[in-house]
Structure 1
Amino acid sequence: MNDATQNEKNSTSMSKMRKIERKKEIKKMKRDAYLSKIVSISLIVLVCVGFVALFAYSVQRSINRVRPSSDFSARLTEDGLIKDVQVSDHIVLGDYSNIIIPKSEVEYTDKDMEKDIQELLENHGTLETETDALIKDGDQVSIDYVGTVDGKEFEGGNTKNAGTDLVIGSGTYVDDFEEQLIGHGVGDKVTVEVTFPADYKEESLAGKDAVFEVEINGIYNIPELTDAFVKENLSEYAMTADGYKEYLKKSKYEDKLNTWLEDYLMDNTTVSSYPEKYIKHLKSIQKFEDQSYFEYMNQLYTSFGSTPPYASFEQYIGMSEKEYDAGLEKKVQDPAKMALLFQMIYQKEGLKVTLDEFDKYLGDKATEDYDTLIKSYGKGYIMQDLIHEKVLEYLKENSVIE
């Protein structure tokens, strides 16, 4: 009896134990399932957050990215004014009445003219590769060289047979490099020994002795400024040498005067804020122009059978596109300031550009027909340029040069 009872108790105890264990297993399974569910939900949430973050980053990057635009007149009215802008909300203009212009800062001297004419003639020079002439002071030559310091080549010291032009006596190269070429002729190979200045910009070369193995490729034949030369090359400006000098004197003086007035206005104008839409527009135009010039440079090299110097736009600008875009804001601020201040004077003084002035401007500037020019830039962009000229004329009439 006691044994039977004890066995029954034992059986009951084991049954309870199994039930308890089973309950524990079920409870554990439920807990594991719950935890698994939580983990799964957490992973889904994290993935979703990741996608949202990635999407947000992509959107933000897209927003920050400057898109180039060739629509030069997009933010201008047909009258050349900046759209939706009250200029007085953005700038405080300095006093521009009775401006006194120092004559010494705008005059175009005979020395200036001689320099400009010499540069012009050098640009029209022809390279003579078969001549018995010897190099003399003032000659423009084409050379190649390999430079070494302590027997080792240094960066920037090798033309790599690409040829480089040099005017003898210009002081372009260090020490007496140029003078050591005098008396040599085309095809000669000359060993030139120089010493870099102690304060040379490249510290690793400062004060060092260098040896250049130079080969003379040719000597340029520089034309003279004659009536025949002017008629053949400069007929859009004049028909005689004296006539071209007069044109140069007048146009260069006007350029210096205009630049002085622009600098004066910029220095005496304060910007409180820049119109956001106009700044965005200028950034797009600037990027379009920079990219266009990059493509033009590569096409130019290709047309001459040479390898383009830049493999990408980023290589051309010397930075990432992201860095370039970030820098555009500052780059376009001065052009924006200039446009704002000239528009303010134009409106304040009640100036107007006439239809005749518009047509004359196109006639003077255009290398294309009227319709093509309007289509390329838009009337607003051309009018804005005319506003600039109109204001400069007004300021010159109301300024004193002394």
Structure 2
Amino acid sequence: MNDASQNEKNSTSMSKTRKIERKKEIKKMKRDAYLSKIISICLIALVSVGFVLLIGYSVHRSINRVRPSSDYSAKLTEEGLIKDVQVTDHLVLGDYSNINIPLSEVEYTDEDMEKDIRELLAEHGTLETETDALIANGDKVNIDYVGTVDGKEFEGGNTKDAGTDLVIGSEDYVDGFEEQLIGHGIGDNVTVEVTFPADYKQNEALAGKNAVFEVQINGIYDIPELTDAFVKENLSEHAMTAKDYREYLKRSKYEAKLDTWLEDFLMDNTTVSSYPEKYMKHLKSVKKFEDQSYFEYMNQLYTSFGSTPPYATFEQYTGMSEKEYDAGLGKDVEDQAKMALIFQMIYQKEGLNVTAEEFDKYLGDKATVDYDSLVEEYGKGYVMQELIHARVLSFLKERAEIK
């Protein structure tokens, strides 16, 4: 009897224990389910936040990405003025009423003219690889070279036997390079020693460094003379005789130097308080279109010659990501925007206008295509803006003093 009671008591005790354990299990399952639910909610929340951030970044990047545009006249009226812009709100124009221009800074000397003629004729030369002639100042030569600093080759200092042309006296190369080739002939190997300028911008790593170039002279160009026949055949859009071409060259180069001087004067003496947002966006789009077009053109050019293009992507070409490139476009077009604002302000302030006769003169001076073709390519607004620029320069030159 006692044993039976004890067994019953043990059985009851085990039953209670199982119930308690079961309750604990259920409680644990509920707790685990609750925690799982919390974790799931947190994960969903994190994924949702990440997705929202990704969408936000995409939207932000989409808004800030500069889209290339070939519509040069998009933000210009047909009269060549910047749309919806009051230029006086954006800049303070310097005094241009009494401009004194030093003749020495704009003069195109006979020496300048002869140098330009030599370079022009050199472009029409024929490469000679079997002549006893020795290199003289003004000659155009074809060379290969390997450049070193402290005995080590530097980037861009090796023509890799591709050959490159050089006009002696053009000063295209670092000081002293061209002069050391004078007196040498085809097939000669010349050791050229130079020092890069302290402010050498093309490759700052070379600034102020002594360099040695081992130069191989491949050939000397046979250069034609500036005769009436040469001018008639190659330069008839400017002149028909050698004498007339010299006069054309002196006049046009002087005018170009004068224009540049006046543009620099206006830019240096004008303060911009702000830039028109929409016009700046337009200029950035056009600049990006031009840069991408040049990149594609260069790639096509290399491909057409059977060579591998040096840059596979536009980002490699610019040396930065598209985001970085876009961010820098504002600075790139600021001077262009400032110039447009200055010339529009003077044009409007002085009550100037552009006539059909002036357009014809513009076409003649530029030796370019007719009005319809220009408008088709760039739009009327852009063409008229160019004419406004030319009209203002003409206005300023009529009033400036050159001493």
Aligned ranges 1:1-400 → 2 under 5 Å: 10-146=10-146, 155-168=155-168, 185-186=185-186, 188-190=187-189, 192-197=190-195, 206-207=209-210, 210=212, 212=214, 214-362=215-363, 365=366, 367-400=368-401
Give the 3 Å change call, closer, same or farther, for CA 189–376 of structure 1 in structure 2: same
The 1-side partners of 2:291 and 2:236 are apart by: 31
Q: CA RMSD in A?
A: 3.0
Whether the 8 Å CA contact 2:197–2:208 is kept in 1: the answer is no
TM-score (norm 1): 0.88
5+ residue gaps in structure 2?
Answer: none
The 1-side partners of 2:177 and 2:86 are apart by: 59
TM-score (norm 2): 0.87
Whether the 8 Å CA contact 1:174–1:195 is kept in 2: the answer is no
Question: Which amino acid is the alignment partner of residue 115 of structure 2?
Answer: K
Whether the 8 Å CA contact 2:237–2:367 is kept in 1: the answer is no
Question: Which amino acid is the alignment partner of residue 286 of structure 1?
Answer: K
Q: Using the TM superposition, give the Cα deviation of residue 117 of structure 1 relative to its aligned residue in structure 2, in angstroms.
A: 1.4
The 2-side partners of 1:142 and 1:95 are apart by: 50
Q: The residue matched to 2:295 in structure 1 has which SS?
A: helix
The 1-side partners of 2:197 and 2:338 are apart by: 39
Whether the 8 Å CA contact 1:149–1:211 is kept in 2: the answer is no
The 2-side partners of 1:20 and 1:236 are apart by: 108
Please, which moves more after superposition, 67-76 or 40-49?
40-49
Q: Using the TM superposition, give the Cα deviation of residue 295 of structure 1 relative to its aligned residue in structure 2, in angstroms.
A: 2.0
Q: Using the TM superposition, give the Cα deviation of residue 343 of structure 1 relative to its aligned residue in structure 2, in angstroms.
A: 0.8
Please, which moves more after superposition, 129-138 or 96-105?
129-138
Q: Using the TM superposition, give the Cα deviation of residue 300 of structure 1 relative to its aligned residue in structure 2, in angstroms.
A: 3.0
Q: Using the TM superposition, give the Cα deviation of residue 363 of structure 1 relative to its aligned residue in structure 2, in angstroms.
A: 5.9
1:139-162 deviation digits (Å, cap 9, x = unpaired): 322122445678765544432110
Q: The residue matched to 1:66 in structure 2 has which SS?
A: coil
The 1-side partners of 2:177 and 2:98 are apart by: 52
Whether the 8 Å CA contact 2:174–2:194 is kept in 1: the answer is yes
The 2-side partners of 1:394 and 1:136 are apart by: 45
Please, which moves more after superposition, 261-270 or 138-147?
138-147
The 2-side partners of 1:355 and 1:368 are apart by: 15
Q: Using the TM superposition, give the Cα deviation of residue 211 of structure 1 relative to its aligned residue in structure 2, in angstroms.
A: 7.0
Whether the 8 Å CA contact 2:177–2:193 is kept in 1: the answer is no
Whether the 8 Å CA contact 2:122–2:139 is kept in 1: the answer is no
Question: Which amino acid is the alignment partner of residue 333 of structure 1?
Answer: E
Q: Using the TM superposition, give the Cα deviation of residue 306 of structure 1 relative to its aligned residue in structure 2, in angstroms.
A: 4.0
